[in-house]
Every structure is written in C-alpha cells, then in structure tokens.
Structure 1
Amino acid sequence: MFVKSSFRIGLDGFNLSLEKGTGVATYARTLSRALSGLGCPVDALFGLNIPTGSIPTLREVRFFDKLVTSGRPKSPAVFSKRWFRERKADLLPPKSIEIPITGRVDSRSFSERLPAFDRIFNVDDLFRRAARHFRQTGKFTAVRMENPPDIMHWTYPFPIEVEGAANIYTLHDVVPLRLPHTTLDDKAYYFRLLQTVGTRASGVCTVSEASKADILSFFPGMASRLHNTYQACDTDRPAFHRPDSECLAEIQADFGLSRHSYFIFFGSLEPKKNIGRVIEAFLASRSSRKLILVGAMAWKSDRELRYLEHGISTGRIMMIDYLPERTLFSLLRQARALLFPSLSEGFGLPVIEAMHCGVPVLTSREGALPEVGGDATLHTEAYDVDAITSAIQQLDQDDSLCEQLVAKGYQQVRKFDMASYQKRLIEMYRSVLSTTSTV
C-alpha cells in the first residue's frame, strides 16, 4: 500500500482542557509540537460543552470560555431537563464542529495549555458521552469529522474512534491492573476498555519497554500492533530558557528559599508515586534542607500521608497545590535534588526534565525508571524506607555525587531528544498506515 510522506494527525484535547493539567496533557502538547516540527498538520479534537448548533461567530468565544470552566460537570438529577437532554443526545451520532480561531478572542492566557494545531474541532461533551455509551453497550462512539485526519492519535485510551482515520491509542501504563490498590479506577471498566482497544485499534502506542512488557502481560493479543515511541522533553518551552538569576530571585521572593536549600517532588500526590515513604524517609534523614511537594492531592490515603501534617507543622515540608510552569521550573532548577522513587512509572518525564535542568535525581528500580534514568540517577528500593532514607542522606551530604549525577544526566537526556522522538513517531505511523485499509 502507498503511504504518504506526511500525514494529517488528530489529537484529543481531553487533558489539555483541564485547567491544572496532567502528565498526559504535557505528553499531548509535546506530541503536537513534535508533529508540527515534522510538518504534519495537526487537528485537535476537544469535548467541551459547546452546543453543536452554535453559530460560528460564537464558537471561538465559547471555546475559550469553557477552557476556563472545563472541570468535569456533576451528573444531572434523574429526570431533570439536563438529564433528558443527555439521554436524547445519546441516541444521536456525535457531530464535530470546527472552532474558528480568528484572533478576535485574546487567547494569550492559554498559550501554555494549547497544543500546536492547524485546526480545532469540538464535539459537545464527547468524553463523558462516550464513557457512558461504552458502559451501557460495550461499543465505541464513532465521530465524524469533515476531512478527517489520516491518523487520530488518542493520548489516552478512550472508547472513541474517528471514522475514516487510523485510530491509535496511547497506553502510558497499566497501573490500575498491575497496582490496583493505588488507583480509584473502575478496574472492570478499564480492563474491558483495554480489551476493546486491543481488538479495534489500528495501532497502540506506549512509552517504554517496561510499559510494553506490562501491557503484553495482560493483553498478549496486542503484540503485533504495539509500538514503543518513548517520550521527549520539549526544551523549547520558555521555562527552560529563563536566566538562572531570575529563577533564583523568584523562589527567594515567593517562597523564601535559596539555591539547594530543599529537595523537590512534583506530580500528582497519589499512592503510586510513593509519597508516603518519601515523606517518612525524608523526615528520618534529619536533613536541614526542606522538602517541597508540588502537586494536587489525587486522592487521600491516611496511610500514605500520615507524616505529612507533622512535616508541615515543623516547617520541614512545604506543600504547594499547583504552580504555573515557569514557577515550577524555577523551583526545580534551584533544588538540591528531585526525589522520585515511584512504585511504577510508564515513563517518568520529571526525571528527564530534572536532568535537563542540571538537577540530580533519586529514582527507584521500578517500572520504566531504570531504562529512562540509566546510570544517571541514584537508585533506591521503592518499598524500603530505610533505603530511601540512606539515599536522601547521600544526596544531602555528598556534593561530588551530585556533580557526577548532573554530568551523567546531561548525557542521558540525549537519548530522549526531540529528533529521536520524531523518528520513532514517524516509524510508528508508517507501520500503522501500511497495514490499515482506511488510508
């Protein structure tokens, strides 16, 4: 089959529409910029609550209005007007509308959240409708788009497909199945969804050899269509290029912190991140430095966070719910080290980001962390508090070790640069299109 030298790619906007973002949102933005850099036109498909019948003049206004208030709405009361509207919508095939980006709306406040794109589309309440439809019927929701992309690359497993496109789904990991006690996912729904993805997808993308092995352990039938592209760190972002003096002045003014006076963790505060043991080990290390935790509480666990309040009350731990990217990276660049001994990571992008910033990293030997960090991180045992304590003490006291890790980190990140990522993406897309009859 003839395969184009360049393709139009569609990406979903589910995580991009969340105000505080997620690791998957960062993945989607980096993917969009990688594709744009390759000269591939990019369509972004959102699922905001914008009525299909909206006149074109108002679509752009409503799109940016909903990006501010894009939190997941509560389910309507049974038999309410909204409930009946949703039931009626469930009976109709979803219709996408293009959002004209004319520049009449000042969108500069959203520059960090939006992907690189050529066109933006929206389907009213797409992701919630599709999940509901899959729960009820076990079937995927089919979306029609005018001039559909050659490939629709879903950045997460959604029960949706775009008609006329090769549909690829990224599975970052299978943590809800491998470590079920660490997530609140409906495991039966998740398993059934991945089973269906495995049979319907034109291709499945993952981000490490560790994740690939975990996926195949549950779904061996995916072997012929499963591709590992790894990830990349988009170092063209402004946060990577601010002067060091400017970053230091910002954290001194905002947080009263000085260079190397603290360790840092950033990401969702959830059990798979091993936060409970990190906090316990840090407090036991007796370090005079602080521990800065940046991230939203994904879900509370008394067992995981039993020492958190003590650490905060004694001034040894500072917890920050959310920071804009520029401030987060100011904190990261001045940290003594990143503490990241997770129980499982599909990739572990914070490790690469810290290395790019010249910050030593502590990781576990779990998931993808050994292959992503290589010998450029200090490894410890994820389930051993004493081992984590000892590793923190090494980073706290050994300047020479930290300098060695920084030097090795600069070498390690070259394996995950944008050019390498783009090459792996193109190889996957060519492979998928060569065996797909829709293109």
Structure 2
Amino acid sequence: MTRLTIGIDGYNLAMPRGTGVATYGFALTQAIAGMGHRTNAIFGLDVGSKPETRELLFFDKFGRTPQKETRKQKQRRLAREIWQSFFTANADDVPMTEAVEKQSFSYSLPSFDRVVSSPRLFEVAHWHLQFFNRFLTLRMDNPPDIMHWTYPVAVKLAGAKNIYTLHDLVPLRLPYATLDYKHLYYRLIERCVLDADHICTVSESSRNDILSRFPIAPEKVSNTYQTAPMPPEALTRDAGEDARMIEGMFDLSERGYFLFFGALDPKKNIGRIIEAYLTTRTQTPLVIVGARNWGTEQESRMLGGGNVSVYGHNVSNRIVQLDYLPRDLLFRLIRGAKAVLFPSLFEGFGLPALEAIQLGTPVISSNISSLPEVVGEAGLLVDPYDVQAIANAMAAVDSDAELGERLRKAGQRQSAKFTSEAYRARLAAMYDVVMGSAR
C-alpha cells in the first residue's frame, strides 16, 4: 500500500459544540491514520502572521463561541471577507509543540501530522461562490495527495485530488426544515458535483439521492458509510458503574427511561416524539438531551420550565430536559436507557442510532431514508409521521423485556457492519479509485 498524505478540513471540528459532522471528521482522521497515511488538517481560523504565536492563537480560537460584534465591527468583518474573496487564499502552517497544554482537546481535536490555517477561509469561500459561481482556490506548500472535505464547502485545494462528503440532501428534500439559502445551497452542491474528483457519501439512500438529482457518473460517488468513534472504556466498563452514576446524577434507574439526544431541529421530529410519549401514558421518564434550535418553538413551549403541562398532562416529573452533556456522560446515559428514540424525518446516515446500537440499547427509528440501513433488525422501524406508530413501538419496548433483549442481541450483529476495520476498508477502496484516476 502506497503511503499517502490526506487532508481533512476543520470546518466542523472548530465549532463551539460538537456536531455530527465533527464526529464524522474525528472518526475519518482516526481511520486515515489507522490505514498508515499521513494526515493534514486545514482550518479557517485567523492565527495571525507571526509563526511564533500561531499555535497560541489557534488554541485560543478553537471551539470558542465568537464574541458578539457591534454593528461597525460586523460591517468591517464582512468588508474584509468580501475583499478577500476576490483573491486566491493561502494557508500557513500552525506549529504543534508542547508549549500549549492540549489534553483538554483530546475528544474534540484529532491528532494530525500537520495543521494549517487560512483566515476565515470558509466565510470567504461563501462570498466567492456568490460572486463568481465557482469554488475559491486554496494554496499551501506541499499540499496533500488527497483533500477530503468532510462537508460541502466552496473551497478547492490546488495540487490535490479533492473529495467532498455529501452527507445528505436535506435542504433540497426538506427545504422547510433548514435555514439554508436554498438557491445558493443548490449551486454549492452543483459545483461540488462538477468540480470534485470524487464524491463521498454515507449511505445508499444518500448515494441514490445524489445520483437522481445531479448529473454525475455513478463510479464517481462512493458510499463509505460511517463508524462511531467511542472510547474503549465506554463499551467495556462495568454497567453497574454507569447505572450508579446515572442514578446518582439524574435519579434515573437502569433500563428505566427513554432517551432522545441530538439537535432539536425540525427534522428530528421531537414534537411527535413528545405526543407519542404522552399517548402511551407510561410512567417511564423521557429524557431529552439537546439544545433547542430554530423551528421548534411549539416544542419549546411544551417543554417550558417549572410545572410542565402538555395538552393538559402534568409531565414535570416524567420529562427530563438536559441542554448539553459531555460525551462520556452521554455514552453512560445511552447505555442505561430502555430505548433511544430516533424517528427522524430524514437522515443521511443516523449516527445517534449507531451509537445506541453499539452501546447495546434498542432504537425506535424511522422506516425511511438511511435509517433502515443503519438500524437493521436492532430496532423497531416506524413511519415517523405516524404518532400512534411511534407510541405503539414505545409501548412494546416498555412492556416487553424479552423484546428489548432480542433487539440488543441483534444490535451486536448489526454494529459489526460499521466497525473501524470495515470503515477503513471502504475508505481504502475509494482512495484507490481516486488515486488510480490520477495515474
């Protein structure tokens, strides 16, 4: 096997709170390193012009919520971005030394062989696409053989084979469920398809969507699926330890609660989840972990503070709301749940479903988009628009311990399809195709 240098973008990795795409980027980096390839990272942070302070400024800005701008500051920033969009972008090396303590970033920043950054790269590229209807060219010394963009961004690295991961086409399939400027998003995906050396996606459902919507040869689109990076101790530590911690912190018993976790955006279907939960009249608590987002105003009213009353039901002791949890604690919560609820309206892959399955927890999920591929027989698949169907599945898992055990055993078989080894094999096949076309 030829040892390659493969670049990964830090667009989602650098966000203040981890996203599903950030988890994807973390797992991708680990997989590439596990295949024996060198890894480069390209960020869009402004780390200044002095090499001696770039590392300091990088970690000062990594994962930090931007400070609130005055109107004048915003105008100046936008003017700089627009001006920069008329020129080729350049990335500078960010030295990684022992000067900055990095242990705090072990779960959010993978270990890279090389890190570079170009100031506000992705914002500048956005303007470039708007003005010129093409991708911004990025240059760097000694570029990698392959640049694997983990998300559709309007940047193309000179001197590298450019791969773009298109996780899904949700803004085009469910335009009412996202805030994207739809015309610009369509142009972005169209340019990805036209300019990419290869398109990567994460399910057969997404691959079929891409091929049916855009003019691209089938051999230029690869489905690699995903894997779910998880610390070994999350799978091997004593389940009793997890149960005691969850009971002590949240007053929840092992296998004694339903769990939803993820962004509370429209496609996650949280409104119907709550309606279905109330329909069952179960006393098993529903735990919701996720920050409230746009488009969920009705659900936010339903989940208001104090003595919560939903449609006349007092649920103050039955619905537990948590805004955000560290990943280690979230894994403990998933492992102890009776079932994870994930009847999403649309997914490109469905990472929460895989994480639940890996941790031995049954899933109640959707029978559409990519989720049947991910869940298989390790969960109950329902029509996500049918509240009664969701409620019936919850009632079945709630009342039938043998069903829960069968689903957990099926999960062991299903999760074997998405191991790190299987993921690396699929990536290797894709990279071989891309590099073969370069010869």
Give the TM bin, normalised by the shorter chain: over 0.9
**Which deviates further from its counterpart, 82-91 or 271-280?**
82-91
Report SS of the residue matched to 1:63. helix
Report SS of the residue matched to 1:378. strand
TM-score (norm 2): 0.94
Judge conservation of contact 2:264–2:296 (CA < 8 Å) in 1. no
Query: For residue 325 of structure 1, what is the amino acid of its counterpart?
Result: R
Report whether the alignment pairs 1:96 with 2:96: no
Q: Which runs of 4+ in 1 moved over 6 A?
A: none
Q: Call closer, same or farther: CA 1:43–1:377 in 2, change over 3 Å.
A: same
**What's 2:357 paired with?**
355
Report whether the alignment pairs 1:257 with 2:252: yes
**What's 2:214 paired with?**
219
Judge conservation of contact 2:45–2:118 (CA < 8 Å) in 1. yes
Q: Structure 2: how far apart are the matches of 1:106 and 1:300? A: 39
% identity of equivalent residues: 44
Report SS of the residue matched to 1:265. strand
Match of 1:45 among 42, 49, 70: 42
Judge conservation of contact 1:60–1:105 (CA < 8 Å) in 2. yes
Q: Structure 1: how far apart are the matches of 2:271 and 2:74? A: 43
Judge conservation of contact 1:17–1:70 (CA < 8 Å) in 2. no
**What's 1:301 paired with?**
296
Match of 2:180 among 180, 185, 199: 185
Report whether the alignment pairs 1:166 with 2:153: no
**What's 1:144 paired with?**
139
Judge conservation of contact 2:81–2:123 (CA < 8 Å) in 1. no
Q: Call closer, same or farther: CA 1:304–1:84 in 2, change over 3 Å.
A: closer
Aligned-pair distance for 1:7?
1.2
1:12-411 counterparts in 2 under 5 A? 12-51=9-48, 53=49, 55-71=50-66, 77=72, 81-236=76-231, 238-303=233-298, 307-309=302-304, 310=309, 314-411=316-413
CA deviations 1:236-269 (Å, max 9, x no partner) are 4554444323322322222121212211011111
CA deviations 1:150-180 (Å, max 9, x no partner) are 0000000000011000000000000110111
Judge conservation of contact 1:198–1:221 (CA < 8 Å) in 2. yes
CA deviations 1:120-152 (Å, max 9, x no partner) are 111111111111111122121111111101000
Judge conservation of contact 1:260–1:334 (CA < 8 Å) in 2. yes
Judge conservation of contact 2:41–2:116 (CA < 8 Å) in 1. yes
Judge conservation of contact 2:29–2:110 (CA < 8 Å) in 1. yes
TM-score (norm 1): 0.94
| Runs of 5+ consecutive residues of structure 1 not aligned to the other structure | none
CA deviations 1:336-390 (Å, max 9, x no partner) are 1101111111111111111111111111101111111112211111111011111
Q: Structure 2: how far apart are the matches of 1:239 and 1:72? A: 35
Q: Call closer, same or farther: CA 1:75–1:352 in 2, change over 3 Å.
A: farther
Once superposed, what is the RMSD of the aligned Cα atoms?
2.0
Aligned-pair distance for 1:87?
4.2
Q: Structure 1: how far apart are the matches of 2:187 and 2:323? A: 33
Q: Structure 2: how far apart are the matches of 1:75 and 1:140? A: 30
| Runs of 5+ consecutive residues of structure 2 not aligned to the other structure | none
**Which deviates further from its counterpart, 416-425 or 68-77?**
68-77
Q: Structure 2: how far apart are the matches of 1:323 and 1:131? A: 32
Aligned-pair distance for 1:19?
2.1
Q: Structure 2: how far apart are the matches of 1:169 and 1:57? A: 33
